[in-house]
Structure 1
Amino acid sequence: MSRPRASLRTAVVWEVLRQALERRAATCGRPELEVLDTGGGSGNLAVPVARLGHRVTVVDPSPNALFALERRAAEADVAERVRGIQGDVAGLFEVAERGGYDVVLCHGVLEYVDDPAEGLRNAVGALRPQGVLSLLAAGLGGAVLARALAGHFTEARQVLVSSDGRWGAGDPLPRRFTPEGLRTLARDSGLTVESFRGVRVFADLVPGSMVDTESDALEALLQLEEAAAEDPSLHGLASHLHLLASVD
């Protein structure tokens, strides 16, 4: 059966997260986990997690995203398991419980906050002992490669030399991370990194015409992405970086 092209963007992270939820549930002896999704928006992850039987609290600054979350959860018949709260990771404990969650998702958040270290410390502070944090952030190397392949060589160089990994004033992302930079940020926040993966090493660079109409090609590309995610030598080329970590 063919998979949608969108699965290339989510498949690697989702499978890692699903397995982490299973392990955490087995470790704590509770099939229903308390999950916090910081910056979870319209529920791209929260709703699938709720479908697995867990309770998910989504904290997001956008009222429109939270409205979409409510609608999506209702359509998936998991409305009783999903709660949306307006807020952000900088003021997380104004709306969420400190030390109250088995798993915290921090996906696409650290690129935008004023202080990534503070934001990550707050996410860590929301974890219960032995809790698990899933962190996804934009990778610097992937942006260099993408700008260079598009012929924007000056912008590609700017990503490399700038302190925040931006290619210019028109760049929509405030910052990007190197693999070592993200690892260091996690360690400095008191986390033990358990796994590290590169996400979308090739998928964002392959023209849609090469895979959209060929299910075999799409499946082959997905398998390539899954293999590349595990290869440390390719992490520096990934569009996004994903790590799983835990606290004592």
Structure 2
Amino acid sequence: MSDPMRPRASLRTAVVWEVLKDALDRKVKAAGSDALDVLDTGGGTGNFAVPVARLGHRVTVVDPSPNALFALERRAAEAGVADRVRGVQGDIHGLFDVVERGGYDAVLCHGVLEYVDDPAEGVRNAVDALRPSGTLSLLAAGLGGAVLARALAGHFTEARQALTDPAGRWGEGDPVPRRFTADQLTELVGKAGVEVGAVHGVRVFADLVPGALVDTEPGALDALLRLEAAAAELPAFHSVATQLHVLGEKREPGER
């Protein structure tokens, strides 16, 4: 994943970034404070953390990779937000060994659930890090996008394998340990105490369009970005998205 502020990279990140930015703006207005406390689990080199810090928020990044955290520190310094970005080594399962429970206005859990042993526990920990009415931004690999990609590449047996495999994997060489449907993600989030506000299909078309076309055809990038944004919230396209994004709000204690 690349910096969502760079044009070419925005094909992969634009939908999530715009949704997240709007959610943080709403949270700022509701809280009556200019700066929020944001936790980015598995935030790596700061692809989202640094742009969030540019908005004025305080961001804590938890990641198991020392190299990623070193790159995060350098990136934050180059962006002039080193005072608002803190990196700590850890993972979603041991989250409260390194951060405060219930201490954040928003939690980003992007590209994490695919790689953890227990996705339900991962979601519960992300939600437990939120303050009441805090915002959860969850991004995970989508099953349908992988099936479609393998089929379009002529790997029909692998496409069928992904479609029928409980983890959504197309074979031993598949680099992604687990994929999800929109229903699976919303169920995980709901059971963890989050009211789902919206589900978005991410990279519905971007991974299927030849890069040369986007790079050389005048206006193609902007047109494709607009198409991605238009399709993102339509349930019909969730089933073919490369990634799925769920945005929700932690329910108040006692709220069902």
Q: Is the 8 A contact 2:198 2:233 kept in 1?
A: no
Distance of 1:5 and 1:232 partners within structure 2: 26
Q: Deviations over 1:12-50 (max 9, x none)?
A: 100000000010111111110000000000000000000
Give the counterpart letter for 2:108 in structure 1: L
2:35 aligns with 32
1:193 aligned to 2:211?
A: no
Distance of 2:88 and 2:110 partners within structure 1: 17
Aligned with 2:182 (options 179, 182, 186) = 179
2:221 aligns with 218
1:237 aligns with 240
Structure 2 residues without counterparts, runs of 5 or longer: 1-5
Tell me the TM-score normalized by structure 2: 0.95
Aligned with 1:207 (options 207, 210, 228) = 210
Tell me the TM-score normalized by structure 1: 0.98
Q: Is the 8 A contact 2:145 2:239 kept in 1?
A: yes
- SS across alignment from 1:171: coil
Q: CA deviation at 1:57?
A: 0.2
Give the counterpart letter for 1:228 in structure 2: A
1:122 aligned to 2:122?
A: no
1:72 aligned to 2:84?
A: no
Q: CA deviation at 1:218?
A: 1.1
Q: Deviations over 1:138-182 (max 9, x none)?
A: 000000000000000000000110000000111001100001111
2:115 aligns with 112
1:59 aligns with 62
Q: Deviations over 1:195-214 (max 9, x none)?
A: 11100001001111111122
Give the counterpart letter for 2:54 in structure 1: R
- SS across alignment from 2:219: helix
Aligned with 2:24 (options 13, 21, 24) = 21
Give the counterpart letter for 2:72 in structure 1: L
Give the counterpart letter for 1:15 in structure 2: E
Aligned with 2:140 (options 137, 140, 161) = 137
Distance change (3 Å), C-alpha of 1:13 and 1:215: farther
- SS across alignment from 2:113: coil
Structure 1 residues without counterparts, runs of 5 or longer: none
1:160 aligns with 163
Distance of 1:52 and 1:16 partners within structure 2: 14
Q: Is the 8 A contact 2:73 2:82 kept in 1?
A: yes
Distance of 1:200 and 1:87 partners within structure 2: 29
Distance of 1:118 and 1:185 partners within structure 2: 9
Distance of 1:80 and 1:242 partners within structure 2: 29
Q: CA deviation at 1:230?
A: 1.7
Distance of 2:93 and 2:231 partners within structure 1: 33
Distance change (3 Å), C-alpha of 1:5 and 1:117: same
Give the counterpart letter for 2:58 in structure 1: R
Distance of 1:48 and 1:101 partners within structure 2: 17
